[in-house]
Chains A and B, each alone.
Chain A
Protein backbone atom coordinates (compact mmCIF):
# COMPACT_ATOMS: atom_id res chain seq x y z
CA UNK A 1 0.00 0.00 0.00
CA UNK A 2 2.87 2.37 0.86
CA UNK A 3 4.10 1.98 -2.71
CA UNK A 4 0.82 1.55 -4.57
CA UNK A 5 -0.62 5.00 -3.80
CA UNK A 6 2.55 6.92 -4.89
CA UNK A 7 2.73 4.67 -7.98
CA UNK A 8 -0.86 5.49 -8.85
CA UNK A 9 -0.27 9.26 -8.34
CA UNK A 10 2.86 9.03 -10.51
CA UNK A 11 0.95 7.15 -13.26
CA UNK A 12 -2.01 9.58 -13.29
CA UNK A 13 0.19 12.72 -13.23
CA UNK A 14 2.63 11.38 -15.84
CA UNK A 15 -0.06 10.26 -18.29
CA UNK A 16 -2.16 13.42 -17.79
CA UNK A 17 0.75 15.75 -18.49
CA UNK A 18 1.89 13.68 -21.51
CA UNK A 19 -1.62 13.80 -23.04
CA UNK A 20 -2.13 17.45 -22.06
CA UNK A 21 0.87 18.51 -24.18
CA UNK A 22 -1.04 17.56 -27.36
CA UNK A 23 -4.38 19.21 -26.45
CA UNK A 24 -4.51 22.98 -27.10
CA UNK A 25 -7.96 23.39 -25.41
CA UNK A 26 -8.35 26.12 -22.74
CA UNK A 27 -9.13 23.56 -19.97
CA UNK A 28 -6.02 21.63 -20.85
CA UNK A 29 -4.05 24.91 -20.73
CA UNK A 30 -5.53 25.77 -17.32
CA UNK A 31 -4.52 22.35 -16.02
CA UNK A 32 -0.99 22.89 -17.31
CA UNK A 33 -0.74 26.32 -15.63
CA UNK A 34 -1.92 24.84 -12.33
CA UNK A 35 0.60 22.01 -12.60
CA UNK A 36 3.43 24.50 -13.19
CA UNK A 37 2.35 26.44 -10.06
CA UNK A 38 2.49 23.20 -8.08
CA UNK A 39 5.95 22.47 -9.46
CA UNK A 40 7.31 25.75 -8.07
CA UNK A 41 5.82 24.97 -4.65
CA UNK A 42 7.30 21.47 -4.70
CA UNK A 43 10.71 22.90 -5.74
CA UNK A 44 10.79 24.93 -2.50
CA UNK A 45 10.54 21.67 -0.51
CA UNK A 46 13.72 20.61 -2.30
CA UNK A 47 15.53 23.59 -0.74
CA UNK A 48 14.26 22.68 2.72
CA UNK A 49 15.33 19.04 2.33
CA UNK A 50 18.73 20.11 0.92
CA UNK A 51 19.37 22.57 3.73
CA UNK A 52 18.26 20.07 6.38
CA UNK A 53 20.51 17.33 4.99
CA UNK A 54 23.50 19.68 4.68
CA UNK A 55 23.14 20.91 8.28
CA UNK A 56 22.53 17.35 9.53
CA UNK A 57 25.68 15.93 7.91
CA UNK A 58 27.96 18.76 9.04
CA UNK A 59 26.67 19.06 12.63
CA UNK A 60 27.26 15.29 12.98
CA UNK A 61 30.83 15.76 11.66
CA UNK A 62 31.48 18.57 14.15
CA UNK A 63 30.14 16.43 17.02
CA UNK A 64 32.34 13.50 15.96
CA UNK A 65 35.42 15.76 15.77
CA UNK A 66 38.50 14.88 13.69
CA UNK A 67 40.49 16.80 11.12
CA UNK A 68 37.50 17.70 8.90
CA UNK A 69 35.32 19.09 11.72
CA UNK A 70 36.91 22.53 11.29
CA UNK A 71 35.83 22.71 7.62
CA UNK A 72 32.28 21.70 8.55
CA UNK A 73 32.32 24.53 11.11
CA UNK A 74 33.42 27.00 8.41
CA UNK A 75 30.61 25.78 6.15
CA UNK A 76 27.93 26.26 8.82
CA UNK A 77 29.39 29.64 9.84
CA UNK A 78 29.28 30.77 6.19
CA UNK A 79 25.73 29.54 5.74
CA UNK A 80 24.43 31.13 8.94
CA UNK A 81 26.52 34.27 8.36
CA UNK A 82 25.00 34.90 4.92
CA UNK A 83 21.48 34.40 6.27
CA UNK A 84 22.14 36.83 9.15
CA UNK A 85 23.69 39.36 6.73
CA UNK A 86 20.57 39.19 4.59
CA UNK A 87 18.15 39.37 7.54
CA UNK A 88 20.00 42.31 9.11
CA UNK A 89 19.74 44.45 5.98
CA UNK A 90 16.82 42.93 4.10
CA UNK A 91 15.72 46.12 2.34
CA UNK A 92 19.02 47.34 0.86
CA UNK A 93 21.04 44.09 1.04
CA UNK A 94 24.25 46.16 1.11
CA UNK A 95 26.16 43.94 3.58
CA UNK A 96 24.95 40.80 1.81
CA UNK A 97 26.15 42.21 -1.54
CA UNK A 98 29.46 43.21 0.05
CA UNK A 99 29.99 39.65 1.31
CA UNK A 100 29.17 38.26 -2.13
CA UNK A 101 31.55 40.57 -4.04
CA UNK A 102 34.38 40.50 -1.49
CA UNK A 103 34.24 36.99 -0.02
CA UNK A 104 32.35 34.58 -2.26
CA UNK A 105 33.53 35.97 -5.62
CA UNK A 106 37.30 35.84 -4.86
CA UNK A 107 36.97 32.44 -3.13
CA UNK A 108 35.03 30.96 -6.03
CA UNK A 109 37.42 32.43 -8.63
CA UNK A 110 40.46 31.19 -6.70
CA UNK A 111 39.10 27.64 -6.48
CA UNK A 112 38.36 27.60 -10.22
CA UNK A 113 41.72 29.17 -11.12
CA UNK A 114 43.57 26.35 -9.38
CA UNK A 115 42.14 24.03 -12.02
CA UNK A 116 44.34 25.70 -14.67
CA UNK A 117 47.49 24.47 -12.93
CA UNK A 118 46.22 20.90 -12.63
CA UNK A 119 44.89 20.81 -16.21
CA UNK A 120 48.22 21.96 -17.71
CA UNK A 121 50.15 19.51 -15.55
CA UNK A 122 47.74 16.68 -16.44
CA UNK A 123 47.90 17.56 -20.17
CA UNK A 124 51.70 17.23 -20.07
CA UNK A 125 51.64 13.90 -18.21
CA UNK A 126 48.56 12.15 -19.66
CA UNK A 127 47.80 13.49 -23.16
CA UNK A 128 49.80 10.88 -25.11
CA UNK A 129 49.36 9.54 -28.64
CA UNK A 130 49.27 5.91 -27.48
CA UNK A 131 46.59 4.70 -29.92
CA UNK A 132 45.04 5.87 -33.21
CA UNK A 133 41.97 7.23 -31.37
CA UNK A 134 44.13 9.09 -28.84
CA UNK A 135 46.20 10.56 -31.70
CA UNK A 136 43.07 11.77 -33.52
CA UNK A 137 41.80 13.36 -30.32
CA UNK A 138 45.17 14.98 -29.68
CA UNK A 139 45.43 16.42 -33.22
CA UNK A 140 41.81 17.69 -33.16
CA UNK A 141 42.34 19.30 -29.73
CA UNK A 142 45.51 21.08 -30.85
CA UNK A 143 43.88 22.32 -34.08
CA UNK A 144 40.86 23.68 -32.16
CA UNK A 145 43.14 25.34 -29.62
CA UNK A 146 45.19 26.99 -32.39
CA UNK A 147 42.00 28.18 -34.12
CA UNK A 148 40.69 29.59 -30.86
CA UNK A 149 43.60 31.89 -30.11
CA UNK A 150 44.66 35.01 -31.99
CA UNK A 151 48.34 33.96 -31.90
CA UNK A 152 47.53 30.96 -34.15
CA UNK A 153 45.85 33.19 -36.71
CA UNK A 154 48.54 35.86 -36.48
CA UNK A 155 51.28 33.29 -37.14
CA UNK A 156 49.27 31.93 -40.09
CA UNK A 157 48.86 35.44 -41.54
CA UNK A 158 52.60 36.01 -41.18
CA UNK A 159 53.29 32.70 -42.96
CA UNK A 160 50.83 33.64 -45.71
CA UNK A 161 52.65 36.93 -46.17
CA UNK A 162 55.96 35.05 -46.55
CA UNK A 163 54.78 32.09 -48.64
CA UNK A 164 51.90 33.67 -50.50
CA UNK A 165 49.75 30.76 -51.76
CA UNK A 166 48.40 29.69 -48.34
CA UNK A 167 44.60 29.89 -47.91
CA UNK A 168 43.10 32.80 -45.97
CA UNK A 169 42.30 32.25 -42.24
CA UNK A 170 42.87 28.51 -42.30
CA UNK A 171 43.16 27.94 -38.49
CA UNK A 172 39.67 29.39 -37.86
CA UNK A 173 38.22 27.51 -40.86
CA UNK A 174 39.71 24.20 -39.65
CA UNK A 175 38.43 24.80 -36.11
CA UNK A 176 34.93 25.66 -37.38
CA UNK A 177 34.94 22.57 -39.62
CA UNK A 178 35.90 20.29 -36.71
CA UNK A 179 33.21 21.78 -34.46
CA UNK A 180 30.46 21.93 -37.11
CA UNK A 181 31.11 18.44 -38.58
CA UNK A 182 32.72 15.57 -36.60
CA UNK A 183 31.93 17.21 -33.24
CA UNK A 184 28.31 17.95 -34.17
CA UNK A 185 27.70 14.50 -35.66
CA UNK A 186 28.96 12.73 -32.54
CA UNK A 187 27.05 15.09 -30.23
CA UNK A 188 23.84 14.52 -32.18
CA UNK A 189 24.28 10.74 -31.93
CA UNK A 190 24.79 11.06 -28.15
CA UNK A 191 21.74 13.35 -27.80
CA UNK A 192 19.53 10.96 -29.78
CA UNK A 193 20.65 8.09 -27.56
CA UNK A 194 20.12 10.13 -24.39
CA UNK A 195 16.69 11.32 -25.65
CA UNK A 196 15.46 7.81 -26.46
CA UNK A 197 16.86 6.57 -23.15
CA UNK A 198 15.06 9.40 -21.34
CA UNK A 199 11.73 8.49 -22.98
CA UNK A 200 12.20 4.80 -22.11
CA UNK A 201 13.17 5.62 -18.51
CA UNK A 202 10.23 8.05 -18.10
CA UNK A 203 7.80 5.40 -19.40
CA UNK A 204 9.27 2.84 -17.00
CA UNK A 205 8.76 5.23 -14.06
CA UNK A 206 5.20 6.25 -15.14
CA UNK A 207 4.18 2.59 -15.62
CA UNK A 208 5.74 1.57 -12.31
CA UNK A 209 8.34 -0.77 -13.84
CA UNK A 210 11.23 1.29 -12.49
CA UNK A 211 10.86 1.74 -8.71
CA UNK A 212 14.37 2.59 -7.53
CA UNK A 213 13.20 6.10 -6.51
CA UNK A 214 11.31 4.43 -3.65
CA UNK A 215 14.63 3.45 -2.17
CA UNK A 216 14.76 -0.14 -3.57
CA UNK A 217 13.41 -3.41 -2.18
CA UNK A 218 10.20 -5.30 -2.84
CA UNK A 219 6.81 -4.42 -1.41
Chain B
Protein backbone atom coordinates (compact mmCIF):
# COMPACT_ATOMS: atom_id res chain seq x y z
CA UNK B 1 0.00 0.00 0.00
CA UNK B 2 2.83 2.38 0.96
CA UNK B 3 4.78 1.60 -2.23
CA UNK B 4 1.72 2.26 -4.38
CA UNK B 5 1.29 5.74 -2.88
CA UNK B 6 4.99 6.42 -3.27
CA UNK B 7 4.69 5.51 -6.99
CA UNK B 8 1.64 7.76 -7.37
CA UNK B 9 3.58 10.69 -5.87
CA UNK B 10 6.53 10.00 -8.21
CA UNK B 11 4.20 9.98 -11.26
CA UNK B 12 2.58 13.24 -10.15
CA UNK B 13 6.02 14.85 -9.76
CA UNK B 14 7.24 13.42 -13.11
CA UNK B 15 4.30 15.11 -14.83
CA UNK B 16 4.08 18.34 -12.82
CA UNK B 17 7.75 19.34 -12.64
CA UNK B 18 8.40 19.57 -16.44
CA UNK B 19 5.15 21.57 -16.87
CA UNK B 20 5.99 24.04 -14.08
CA UNK B 21 9.69 24.31 -14.96
CA UNK B 22 8.95 24.30 -18.73
CA UNK B 23 11.58 21.63 -19.42
CA UNK B 24 12.14 20.93 -23.13
CA UNK B 25 14.21 18.02 -24.42
CA UNK B 26 15.30 18.69 -28.00
CA UNK B 27 13.95 16.29 -30.63
CA UNK B 28 16.95 15.42 -32.77
CA UNK B 29 15.63 12.60 -34.95
CA UNK B 30 12.32 12.02 -36.69
CA UNK B 31 10.66 8.61 -37.07
CA UNK B 32 10.32 7.25 -40.62
CA UNK B 33 6.52 7.03 -40.36
CA UNK B 34 6.19 10.74 -39.40
CA UNK B 35 8.59 11.86 -42.12
CA UNK B 36 6.55 9.94 -44.72
CA UNK B 37 3.46 12.06 -43.95
CA UNK B 38 5.48 15.28 -43.89
CA UNK B 39 7.16 14.49 -47.22
CA UNK B 40 3.86 13.59 -48.86
CA UNK B 41 2.20 16.86 -47.82
CA UNK B 42 5.32 18.84 -48.62
CA UNK B 43 5.32 17.52 -52.21
CA UNK B 44 1.65 18.33 -52.85
CA UNK B 45 1.26 21.23 -55.28
CA UNK B 46 -0.28 24.52 -54.09
CA UNK B 47 -4.09 24.45 -54.14
CA UNK B 48 -4.29 20.71 -53.36
CA UNK B 49 -7.05 19.64 -50.96
CA UNK B 50 -6.53 17.70 -47.73
CA UNK B 51 -9.38 16.41 -45.54
CA UNK B 52 -8.89 16.04 -41.79
CA UNK B 53 -11.17 13.64 -39.95
CA UNK B 54 -11.34 14.31 -36.20
CA UNK B 55 -12.10 10.90 -34.74
CA UNK B 56 -11.08 11.36 -31.13
CA UNK B 57 -12.32 12.89 -27.89
CA UNK B 58 -11.10 15.12 -25.07
CA UNK B 59 -9.37 12.20 -23.29
CA UNK B 60 -6.89 11.81 -26.17
CA UNK B 61 -6.83 15.48 -27.21
CA UNK B 62 -3.48 16.21 -25.45
CA UNK B 63 -1.87 13.70 -27.84
CA UNK B 64 -3.74 14.49 -31.05
CA UNK B 65 -4.64 18.18 -30.85
CA UNK B 66 -0.98 19.30 -31.24
CA UNK B 67 -0.67 17.00 -34.29
CA UNK B 68 -3.82 18.47 -35.83
CA UNK B 69 -2.54 22.00 -35.33
CA UNK B 70 0.95 21.18 -36.70
CA UNK B 71 -0.55 19.48 -39.79
CA UNK B 72 -2.87 22.43 -40.43
CA UNK B 73 0.02 24.88 -40.07
CA UNK B 74 2.05 22.87 -42.58
CA UNK B 75 -0.85 22.77 -45.07
CA UNK B 76 -1.64 26.48 -44.76
CA UNK B 77 2.02 27.42 -45.03
CA UNK B 78 2.14 25.56 -48.36
CA UNK B 79 -1.18 27.07 -49.53
CA UNK B 80 -2.91 23.70 -49.40
CA UNK B 81 -6.69 23.82 -48.83
CA UNK B 82 -8.09 22.03 -45.79
CA UNK B 83 -11.49 20.54 -45.03
CA UNK B 84 -12.43 19.29 -41.57
CA UNK B 85 -14.96 16.64 -40.62
CA UNK B 86 -15.69 14.60 -37.48
CA UNK B 87 -17.03 11.08 -37.26
CA UNK B 88 -16.87 11.05 -33.46
CA UNK B 89 -19.38 13.41 -31.80
CA UNK B 90 -16.68 14.50 -29.33
CA UNK B 91 -14.30 15.28 -32.18
CA UNK B 92 -16.54 17.98 -33.63
CA UNK B 93 -15.62 20.77 -31.23
CA UNK B 94 -11.96 19.75 -31.07
CA UNK B 95 -11.67 20.01 -34.85
CA UNK B 96 -13.51 23.31 -34.81
CA UNK B 97 -11.05 24.66 -32.23
CA UNK B 98 -8.02 23.58 -34.29
CA UNK B 99 -9.39 25.04 -37.55
CA UNK B 100 -10.44 28.36 -35.95
CA UNK B 101 -7.12 28.73 -34.12
CA UNK B 102 -4.76 27.89 -37.00
CA UNK B 103 -6.94 29.47 -39.72
CA UNK B 104 -6.94 32.80 -37.88
CA UNK B 105 -3.25 32.55 -36.91
CA UNK B 106 -2.17 31.95 -40.53
CA UNK B 107 -4.52 34.58 -41.95
CA UNK B 108 -6.51 32.13 -44.07
CA UNK B 109 -9.99 32.84 -45.43
CA UNK B 110 -12.90 30.61 -44.39
CA UNK B 111 -14.68 29.14 -47.39
CA UNK B 112 -11.77 29.69 -49.75
CA UNK B 113 -8.77 28.23 -47.94
CA UNK B 114 -10.53 26.01 -45.43
CA UNK B 115 -13.97 24.76 -44.47
CA UNK B 116 -15.10 22.91 -41.37
CA UNK B 117 -18.08 20.64 -41.94
CA UNK B 118 -18.60 19.29 -38.41
CA UNK B 119 -19.98 15.95 -37.24
CA UNK B 120 -22.13 13.41 -39.06
CA UNK B 121 -23.41 10.14 -37.61
CA UNK B 122 -23.06 6.88 -39.50
CA UNK B 123 -19.30 6.25 -39.55
CA UNK B 124 -18.72 3.71 -42.40
CA UNK B 125 -21.79 4.89 -44.32
CA UNK B 126 -20.47 8.47 -44.20
CA UNK B 127 -17.14 7.24 -45.59
CA UNK B 128 -18.93 5.39 -48.40
CA UNK B 129 -21.26 8.26 -49.28
CA UNK B 130 -18.37 10.73 -49.43
CA UNK B 131 -17.05 8.63 -52.31
CA UNK B 132 -20.18 9.45 -54.32
CA UNK B 133 -20.78 13.05 -53.26
CA UNK B 134 -19.51 14.85 -50.16
CA UNK B 135 -22.44 17.30 -50.32
CA UNK B 136 -24.84 14.40 -49.91
CA UNK B 137 -23.58 13.76 -46.37
CA UNK B 138 -22.27 17.20 -45.44
CA UNK B 139 -24.79 19.55 -47.00
CA UNK B 140 -24.03 22.27 -44.41
CA UNK B 141 -20.93 23.40 -42.53
CA UNK B 142 -20.59 23.46 -38.73
CA UNK B 143 -22.49 26.76 -38.51
CA UNK B 144 -25.33 25.33 -40.60
CA UNK B 145 -24.50 27.34 -43.73
CA UNK B 146 -25.07 25.54 -47.06
CA UNK B 147 -21.72 24.34 -48.43
CA UNK B 148 -22.65 25.52 -51.93
CA UNK B 149 -21.85 29.09 -50.82
CA UNK B 150 -18.17 28.25 -50.27
CA UNK B 151 -15.84 28.42 -53.32
CA UNK B 152 -13.71 25.57 -51.93
CA UNK B 153 -16.66 23.20 -51.65
CA UNK B 154 -17.91 24.08 -55.12
CA UNK B 155 -14.81 22.45 -56.62
CA UNK B 156 -14.69 19.47 -54.25
CA UNK B 157 -17.30 16.86 -55.14
CA UNK B 158 -15.94 13.54 -53.87
CA UNK B 159 -12.71 11.63 -53.15
CA UNK B 160 -11.50 12.25 -56.72
CA UNK B 161 -10.96 15.91 -55.74
CA UNK B 162 -9.15 15.09 -52.48
CA UNK B 163 -5.37 14.70 -52.59
CA UNK B 164 -4.98 13.30 -49.08
CA UNK B 165 -7.24 12.29 -46.20
CA UNK B 166 -5.68 12.45 -42.74
CA UNK B 167 -7.48 10.53 -40.01
CA UNK B 168 -6.74 11.81 -36.49
CA UNK B 169 -7.87 8.78 -34.55
CA UNK B 170 -8.11 7.33 -31.08
CA UNK B 171 -10.04 4.21 -32.13
CA UNK B 172 -10.48 1.88 -35.09
CA UNK B 173 -11.51 4.51 -37.65
CA UNK B 174 -8.22 4.22 -39.57
CA UNK B 175 -9.00 0.61 -40.52
CA UNK B 176 -12.50 1.71 -41.58
CA UNK B 177 -11.08 4.50 -43.78
CA UNK B 178 -8.73 1.96 -45.39
CA UNK B 179 -11.60 -0.48 -46.01
CA UNK B 180 -14.10 2.04 -47.37
CA UNK B 181 -12.11 4.97 -48.79
CA UNK B 182 -8.81 3.40 -49.89
CA UNK B 183 -9.99 -0.02 -51.11
CA UNK B 184 -13.17 1.16 -52.82
CA UNK B 185 -12.20 4.65 -54.01
CA UNK B 186 -8.38 4.54 -54.04
CA UNK B 187 -8.24 7.54 -51.69
CA UNK B 188 -4.71 8.36 -50.41
CA UNK B 189 -4.69 8.12 -46.61
CA UNK B 190 -2.46 9.13 -43.72
CA UNK B 191 -3.09 8.67 -40.02
CA UNK B 192 -2.23 10.45 -36.79
CA UNK B 193 -3.08 8.18 -33.90
CA UNK B 194 -2.58 7.75 -30.18
CA UNK B 195 0.57 5.89 -29.17
CA UNK B 196 -1.51 2.95 -27.90
CA UNK B 197 -2.76 1.97 -31.36
CA UNK B 198 0.20 2.97 -33.52
CA UNK B 199 1.83 -0.50 -33.59
CA UNK B 200 -1.25 -2.06 -35.23
CA UNK B 201 -0.97 0.26 -38.27
CA UNK B 202 2.50 -0.72 -39.47
CA UNK B 203 1.25 -3.45 -41.89
CA UNK B 204 -0.78 -0.76 -43.67
CA UNK B 205 2.29 1.48 -44.09
CA UNK B 206 4.29 -1.37 -45.64
CA UNK B 207 1.38 -2.26 -47.94
CA UNK B 208 1.28 1.45 -48.96
CA UNK B 209 -2.36 1.67 -47.91
CA UNK B 210 -1.24 4.51 -45.63
CA UNK B 211 1.29 7.09 -46.79
CA UNK B 212 2.51 7.30 -43.18
CA UNK B 213 1.50 7.34 -39.52
CA UNK B 214 2.15 10.11 -36.99
CA UNK B 215 2.52 8.45 -33.58
CA UNK B 216 0.79 10.48 -30.84
CA UNK B 217 2.72 12.96 -28.74
CA UNK B 218 6.04 11.81 -30.24
CA UNK B 219 4.69 12.48 -33.73
CA UNK B 220 3.39 15.89 -32.66
CA UNK B 221 6.83 16.90 -31.40
CA UNK B 222 8.53 15.48 -34.51
CA UNK B 223 6.12 17.31 -36.82
CA UNK B 224 6.63 20.56 -34.91
CA UNK B 225 10.38 20.08 -35.42
CA UNK B 226 9.91 19.42 -39.15
CA UNK B 227 7.82 22.57 -39.69
CA UNK B 228 10.06 24.47 -37.25
CA UNK B 229 7.18 25.65 -35.05
CA UNK B 230 7.61 24.35 -31.46
CA UNK B 231 4.32 23.93 -29.60
CA UNK B 232 2.60 21.79 -27.00
CA UNK B 233 3.83 18.60 -28.70
CA UNK B 234 7.43 19.31 -27.67
CA UNK B 235 6.47 20.14 -24.07
CA UNK B 236 4.18 17.10 -23.95
CA UNK B 237 6.94 14.81 -25.19
CA UNK B 238 9.31 16.14 -22.53
CA UNK B 239 6.72 15.30 -19.86
CA UNK B 240 6.24 11.88 -21.44
CA UNK B 241 10.03 11.37 -21.53
CA UNK B 242 10.37 11.77 -17.78
CA UNK B 243 7.34 9.54 -17.16
CA UNK B 244 8.82 6.87 -19.47
CA UNK B 245 12.17 7.00 -17.66
CA UNK B 246 10.27 6.54 -14.40
CA UNK B 247 8.42 3.50 -15.80
CA UNK B 248 11.69 1.95 -17.06
CA UNK B 249 13.39 2.51 -13.69
CA UNK B 250 10.44 1.03 -11.77
CA UNK B 251 10.31 -2.03 -14.06
CA UNK B 252 14.06 -2.57 -13.56
CA UNK B 253 13.75 -2.16 -9.77
CA UNK B 254 10.75 -4.49 -9.72
CA UNK B 255 12.68 -7.16 -11.62
CA UNK B 256 15.79 -6.83 -9.42
CA UNK B 257 13.53 -7.33 -6.37
CA UNK B 258 11.91 -10.32 -8.07
CA UNK B 259 15.21 -12.04 -8.83
CA UNK B 260 16.61 -11.34 -5.35
CA UNK B 261 13.46 -12.79 -3.77
CA UNK B 262 13.69 -15.87 -6.01
CA UNK B 263 17.34 -16.42 -5.09
CA UNK B 264 16.51 -16.15 -1.38
CA UNK B 265 13.85 -18.85 -1.82
Residues of A in contact (CB 8 Å), total 53
A124-B254, A188-B203 known; A47 vs B246 contact (CB < 8 Å): no
Q: Closest approach, in angstroms, between the C-beta of B170 and any C-beta of chain A?
A: 10
Q: Which residues on the B side are within 8 Å of A148 (C-beta)?
A: 195, 215, 218, 244
Q: Closest approach, in angstroms, between the C-beta of B242 and any C-beta of chain A?
A: 8
Query: A104–B89 Cα gap in the complex (Å)?
Result: 12
Interface code A99-117, partner B: CB below 8 Å = 1, 0 otherwise? Answer: 0110011101101100011
Interface code B181-214, partner A: CB below 8 Å = 1, 0 otherwise? Answer: 0000000000000010011101100100000000
B90–A179 touching, CB < 8 Å: no
Q: In this assembly, does A9 line the interface, its C-beta being within 8 Å of a C-beta of chain B?
A: no
B202–A179 touching, CB < 8 Å: yes
B243–A120 touching, CB < 8 Å: yes
Q: Closest approach, in angstroms, between the C-beta of A118 and any C-beta of chain B?
A: 9
Q: Which residue of B lies closest to A39 (CB)?
A: B125
Q: Which residues on the A side are within 8 Å of B79 (C-beta)?
A: none
Residues of B in contact (CB 8 Å), total 60
A43-B121, A108-B58, A176-B32 known; A120 vs B218 contact (CB < 8 Å): no
Among B42-50, B59-67, B146-154, the one that faces the other chain is B59-67
Q: Which residue of B lies closest to A29 (CB)?
A: B132
A120–B247 touching, CB < 8 Å: yes
Among A57-65, A69-77, A138-146, A209-217, the one that faces the other chain is A138-146
Q: Closest approach, in angstroms, between the C-beta of B203 and any C-beta of chain A?
A: 5
B28–A142 touching, CB < 8 Å: no
Contact sample, A vs B, 30 pairs, CB 8 Å cutoff: A36-B129, A40-B125, A40-B126, A47-B121, A91-B144, A100-B93, A101-B93, A104-B90, A112-B60, A116-B243, A117-B7, A117-B8, A119-B247, A120-B10, A120-B250, A121-B4, A121-B8, A123-B247, A123-B254, A124-B251, A124-B253, A130-B258, A138-B251, A149-B244, A150-B26, A150-B238, A151-B242, A153-B29, A180-B206, A184-B203
Please give 12 more A-B residue pairs, beta carbons under 8 A apart, in addition to A39-B124, A142-B248, A153-B29: A36-B132, A37-B129, A116-B15, A120-B250, A124-B3, A124-B254, A151-B242, A154-B25, A169-B28, A169-B29, A175-B31, A187-B202
